[in-house]
């Protein structure tokens, strides 16, 4: 989806300001490192930046988006804009050598060349050393854009040759706004924007019927917990919860949803109802909050976080959930 600098500025104001200024003043750096979490707009902004550099009809820093240059960049077919992604699990030396070979040729349009290196942290040592040589001896107007989610994995010698731009996570309220624009109901948008700051990932989660069922199961589990019917809750766990949260990642999401429920109970107790995530369940939350103190909820939150940690340490999922339910009921 085509976006303007103005639209991208709502996601990454500092990054956009720095890049557009460099374009307007014709002070484009030789190498950039875009670092930040998944879904923060690194690739979209690198494409927009390339379009701004090559567009023949731009207004200020804004590319026209319709000329042949812009269209070729959007489709990934521009001869002077190259995308390099890991070959398998890593970016290999051969890929960097091929890139150097490609860039030793004169640019087709005589405006220079741009290469965008995705997952730059996945370079092998040999690839990183080859890239380093390339960064030290640029040919013509060559611009490198390295994208990474793991900046600590990049060689310090490479970092020192790049202008580093930090991409901040998408704020939940901005993500919620974007989800509502896409027709997502407010109560589901609010919930999923608490689980991810990635728009595409959020839409993917919401398109899966599994997520809607997971939400219902979490609400039902809390009803069993509040009734203090120990055996009933364990039966529900075996019959409904475990068959639904089969994979480790699914169970982790289930624990996140449970965590958000208890946070909502805490918000009610401290009078911050505006922060509630399960907004369509306010009545039930208010009813349940009567049975809790702030300390008890804090203890429950700690138990769920501990269960998440143990899940990552490969504890048996069924046993882990049984122990968690019993501890939550003891509280």
The predicted structure's pLDDT at residue 117? 94
Same domain, 256 and 154: no
Is residue 283 situated within a structural domain? Answer: yes
Same domain, 235 and 89: no
Confidence of residue 267 (pLDDT cuts 50, 70, 90): very high
Is residue 47 situated within a structural domain? Answer: yes
> Residue 38 sits in which domain range?
5-169
Same domain, 119 and 220: no
Residues 17/122, Cβ–Cβ less than 8 Å? no
Mean pLDDT across 82-102: 87
Confidence of residue 171 (pLDDT cuts 50, 70, 90): confident
| Token pair belonging to 94 | 């051969």
The predicted structure's pLDDT at residue 29? 92
The answer on pLDDT for 166 being more than 70 is yes
Point out the domain boundary residue: 169, 187, 222: 169
Give the total number of structural domains in the chain: 2
Same domain, 217 and 111: no
pLDDT tens by residue, 212-251: 999 999 999 998 887 755 688 889 999 999 999 999 999 9
Residues 13/41, Cβ–Cβ less than 8 Å? no
Same domain, 10 and 145: yes
Same domain, 23 and 114: yes
Residues 267/276, Cβ–Cβ less than 8 Å? yes
Say which CATH number the domain at 280 has.
1.20.272.10
Residues 292/265, Cβ–Cβ less than 8 Å? yes
Same domain, 155 and 267: no
Same domain, 148 and 16: yes
Same domain, 313 and 264: yes
Query: How many Å separate Cα 32 from the centre of its chain?
Result: 20
Mean pLDDT across 241-267: 95
Same domain, 272 and 158: no
Is residue 181 situated within a structural domain? Answer: no
The answer on pLDDT for 200 being more than 80 is no
């Amino acid at each position: 989806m085509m976006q303007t600098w103005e639209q991208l500025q709502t996601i990454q104001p500092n990054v956009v300001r720095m890049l557009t200024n460099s374009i307007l003043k014709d002070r484009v750096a030789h190498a950039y490192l875009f670092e930040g979490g998944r879904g923060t707009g690194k690739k979209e902004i690198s494409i927009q930046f390339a379009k701004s550099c090559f567009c023949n009809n731009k207004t200020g820093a804004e590319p026209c988006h319709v000329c042949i240059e812009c269209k070729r960049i959007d489709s990934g077919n521009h001869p002077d804009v190259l995308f390099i992604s890991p070959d398998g699990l890593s970016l290999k030396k051969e890929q960097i050598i091929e890139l150097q070979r490609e860039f030793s040729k004169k640019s087709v349009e005589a405006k220079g060349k741009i290469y965008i290196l995705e997952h730059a942290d996945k370079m092998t040592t040999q690839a990183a050393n080859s890239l380093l040589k390339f960064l030290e001896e640029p040919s013509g107007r060559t611009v490198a854009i390295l994208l990474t989610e793991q900046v600590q994995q990049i060689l310090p010698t490479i970092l020192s040759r790049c202008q580093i731009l930090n991409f901040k996570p998408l704020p939940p309220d901005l993500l919620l706004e974007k989800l509502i624009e896409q027709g997502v109901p407010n109560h589901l948008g609010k919930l999923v924007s608490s689980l991810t700051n990635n728009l595409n990932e959020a839409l993917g989660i919401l398109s899966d019927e599994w997520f809607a069922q997971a939400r219902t199961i979490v609400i039902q589990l809390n009803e069993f917990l509040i009734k203090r019917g120990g055996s009933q809750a364990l039966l529900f766990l075996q019959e409904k919860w475990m068959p639904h949260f089969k994979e480790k990642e699914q169970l982790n999401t289930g624990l996140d949803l449970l965590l958000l429920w208890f946070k909502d109970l805490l918000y009610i107790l401290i009078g911050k109802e505006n922060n509630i995530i399960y907004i369509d369940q306010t009545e039930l939350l208010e009813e349940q909050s009567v049975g809790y103190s702030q300390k008890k909820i804090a203890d429950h939150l700690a138990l769920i976080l501990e269960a998440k940690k143990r899940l990552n340490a490969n504890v048996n999922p069924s046993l882990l959930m049984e122990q968690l339910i019993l501890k939550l009921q003891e509280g």
